[in-house]
Amino acid sequence: MSLNAKLAGAVIAVWMAAATAPGCGPFFPNMFLKDDSAVLEAPVAWFGGEIKRMKLTPPVERRVTSGKGFTSEAADADIAELQAALDKAGVKPAARQAIVDAHRVERQKLRVLADYNEQVREARRTTDGGAPPPNLAVAPTNRSVEYELPPKLPPAPTSRIVVTTGLPGEFADYFRGAIAWQTGNEAAAIASWCALLERPADERHFRSVWAAFMLGKAHLKREPQKAVGYFQQTRRLAREGFADSIGLAASSLGWEAKAHFQQKHWVPAMELYLDQAASGDDSAIESLIWVAAAAFREDAGTLAMLAAHPKARRVMTAYLLADRWAWMDWQGHMTERAKDASKWLAAVETAGVRDVESAEQLALAAYRAGQMQTARRWIQRAAVTPAIQWLQAKLLLRDGKVDAAAAQMEQLIKLFPIQPPTTNVSVALSFGDNLFVPSDVGDVPTPRQMLGELGALRLARREYVMALDALMRSGSWTDAAYVAERVLSADELKAYVDRCWPAVPRLPVKEGDNRNDEFYRSLAGDPPPGQLNENIRWLLARRLARQNRFDEARPYYPAKWQPQFNELVRSLATGNNAALAAIQRATAFWAAACLTRTNGMDLVGTEAEPDWAVHEGDFEDGPTVAVRASFKGNLAPSADEIRRTQRKEATPEKRFHYRYVAASLAMKAASLMPDNADETANVLWTAGVWLKGRDPKAAEVFYHALVRRCPKTALGAEADRQRWFPERDANGRPLPKLKRDQPPAPP
């Protein structure tokens, strides 16, 4: 059993929700081009992965589970073993069935009482609250954790529970103790179970292990040392051949560890929890986190003792390296962890630790704590591993040696190939394989993080196409979009796309998915097949279209948007054909204007600034020309990069620039239409409304054109009276402006 498993689960859920919930808006990925911090950030290790990398020897005791849950397994085992005991005693089938049926009824009553007692305990724990547990990366998972307040307690069970007549002695003793335990008579429970263990060995084959285990639990709170003896007896009895069909011997490892933990016997507690983990019980991982967190609150002597013990040292170091949200500095958590790291590094030095594998881990611990000289010292003691080389590259960058850092990263990425989505990844075999970098949108595995860092290094060295390629393959789409749109020329981008990202069949999008979700999936973890191709080709298509290179742009659009694109191109061609009639051209321009207004983000919008199609236009977040120009770190942009970014990517370079384009097309349509026509007034009014919310000054042009050219229309006349664009009813008729003291008309 894990240490305070239910309490831990509840508190973890509440604390995680508080720590990770954003104030508003979506989650944004780590970005490598805003400053040096993302490249210099220290990776985090999976705590569970570090424990599994210890290659623990499984104990004799193995966890037993059928997947039905412990309570159901125990009930099934109890009935099956009762039947076996009655058979062995020679009880006739009819009498045997009657005893089993009667016991099953009483056992169900006991289960109802046990469930009620657990609800009461849970309610008390929720009311009492508790300090948040250590916030660690336990295992790779994207599961969301939810917590609900316990429901209102039902009425307490009132059914009397009795020991069925005819139960074999050991079963009667055990069940009598179980009844006493659930009704709060601890002394009677202990007496019943002790009586069971005092029976001759041949009379207690089925319930000796159960009784010893429960005696350990009964003494845990007040006499933990006595509990240790009973948990050890549980395992001894199982080894001697007494029945243990539900794996209580394996479970006793964790319970004995808890008894040692209560007495601050740190090493035995950790060793037993490690044995429990090796038995196949992953709940021990959470318990090890609690123990390590508590041990860090002890004095320097205790820490030195733990540092000297090989297994305890691995657990304590793993705890330091597995702080998933230290980067958020939630309530000073990062500061506290830095203090822990300082204490631990000092303790390790005091203990005289010099082994190579510890050096690799401790170098990272020192780096994360900001102790760069200590990190360099441990790097010198360590073997040359990928993780050590990664740290060395970061230290080189800190020293301003960008070229040397880039050269090191170029070699490193060859050692960490990005696995395709179908690859089954086994337990990490090396320290580097067990590292990742936290992100709002998902944990970034080592290969992707390294590629992103390399992309930033290449950009600083003016290797623009190579920088884009690294950022693309790292999944850092927002960074890649900046390079693709603002740094590369359209021709450079087209050549790169043609060479590296040919069109591929697009998998169908599941119902309910939207484009924004697809982009976020590409930012964390493995993007779905074809996603990167579509992203970069679509960006190129819109960029070419903004430059009126329509024939070149067409093949790069996703199939979904090619019909709208073709319609837009046809409308523009018709509108610009001076040989056609004015009304035909006006109709075409108006069609192009409406299509641009409604679908402009997907047809001509910029992926990054100013439109931010990457975020569906909802947010402005990512590298910008201004951000890059103000960058002062070791990876600051070159003068050549800044010069390249001065090219206009959108006209005008304003948020939702395509709305201005749409309005301009509407003005072209209106210029070909007659004055004082309702159709002309509608075009001018609509185009002005497109702009008035965000840019009233730009909308003024359309207001003035409306009142000047269409004063005899209802829309133009009302606009003149209100000195602005009037509201319209469902039928398009202008609505008079209400006076402040005039109540609205009844419906």
Task: Answer yes or no: is pLDDT of 133 > 50.
Answer: no
* pLDDT tens, position by position, 554-594: 999 999 999 999 999 999 999 999 999 999 999 999 999 99
Q: Is 118 left (phi over 0), alpha (psi -120 to 50) or beta?
A: alpha
pLDDT the model gives residue 707: 97
Among 215-224, 518-527, 684-693, the range scoring the smallest mean pLDDT is 518-527
d(CA 448, CA 470): 9
User: What mean pLDDT comes out for the span 399-427?
Assistant: 78
Q: Is residue 558 part of a domain?
A: no
Q: What is the CATH number of the domain that holds 180?
A: 1.25.40
Q: Is residue 616 part of a domain?
A: no
pLDDT the model gives residue 356: 81
Task: Answer yes or no: is pLDDT of 607 > 80.
Answer: yes
pLDDT the model gives residue 530: 63
Task: Answer yes or no: is pLDDT of 609 > 90.
Answer: yes
pTM for the model:
0.79
Task: Answer yes or no: is pLDDT of 529 > 70.
Answer: no
pLDDT the model gives residue 668: 98
Task: Answer yes or no: is pLDDT of 666 > 50.
Answer: yes
Q: How does the average pLDDT of the chain come out, rounded?
A: 86
Q: For the chain, give the number of residues.
A: 747
Q: How confident is the model at residue 73 (pLDDT cuts 50, 70, 90)?
A: confident
Q: How confident is the model at residue 123 (pLDDT cuts 50, 70, 90)?
A: confident
Q: Is residue 480 part of a domain?
A: no
pLDDT the model gives residue 30: 66
User: What mean pLDDT comes out for the span 220-224?
Assistant: 95
- φ, ψ of residue 241 to 5 degrees: the values are 110, 0
pLDDT the model gives residue 667: 98
Per-residue CA distances from 550 to 38, 480, 543, 572, 584 (Å): 38, 23, 10, 11, 22
Q: Is residue 393 part of a domain?
A: no
Q: How confident is the model at residue 335 (pLDDT cuts 50, 70, 90)?
A: low
The residue range of the domain holding 189 is 64-129+156-246
Spell out the residues 6+ positions from residue 479 whose beta carbon is closer than 8 angstroms to its own.
Answer: 31, 32, 33, 452, 455, 456, 471, 622, 623
Q: Is residue 335 part of a domain?
A: no
Identify whether 610 is preceded by a cis peptide bond (ω within 30 of 0): yes
Distance, C-alpha 385 to centroid of its chain? 28
pLDDT the model gives residue 575: 97
Q: Is residue 674 part of a domain?
A: no
Task: Answer yes or no: is pLDDT of 326 > 80.
Answer: no
- Identity of the residue numbered 29: P
Burial 459-469 (b: 16+ CB within 10 A, else e): bbeebbbbbbb
Task: Answer yes or no: is pLDDT of 27 > 80.
Answer: no
Q: In what side-by-side order are the strands of the sheet with 444-445? A: 44-45, 435-437, 444-445
DSSP β-bridge partners for residue 86: none
Domain count of the fold of the chain? 1
Q: Which two tokens stand for residue 98?
A: 């009657």
Half-sphere exposure in the Cβ direction for 248 (13 Å, CA): 29
Task: Answer yes or no: is pLDDT of 50 > 50.
Answer: yes
Q: Is residue 107 part of a domain?
A: yes
Among 424-433, 536-545, 563-572, the range scoring the smallest mean pLDDT is 424-433
d(CA 645, CA 90): 92
d(CA 153, CA 732): 59
Q: How confident is the model at residue 256 (pLDDT cuts 50, 70, 90)?
A: very high
Between strands 44-45 and 444-445, the pairing is unpaired
Task: Answer yes or no: is pLDDT of 382 > 50.
Answer: yes
Half-sphere exposure in the Cβ direction for 291 (13 Å, CA): 34
**Which residue is associated with the tokens 């910008």?**
624
Task: Answer yes or no: is pLDDT of 747 > 60.
Answer: no
d(CA 596, CA 533): 24
Q: Is residue 332 part of a domain?
A: no
Spell out the residues 6+ positions from residue 125 whose beta carbon is closer than 8 angstroms to its own.
Answer: 6, 7, 10
Per-residue CA distances from 687 to 235, 574, 601, 696 (Å): 81, 20, 17, 12
Spell out the residues 6+ positions from residue 80 whose beta carbon is closer than 8 angstroms to its own.
Answer: 245
* pLDDT tens, position by position, 452-509: 999 999 999 999 999 999 999 988 899 999 999 999 999 999 999 999 999 877 555 5
Q: How confident is the model at residue 9 (pLDDT cuts 50, 70, 90)?
A: very low
Q: Which residue has the higher pLDDT, 355 or 391?
A: 391
Percentage, residues of the chain above pLDDT 70: 83
Distance, C-alpha 445 to centroid of its chain? 12
d(CA 472, CA 669): 41
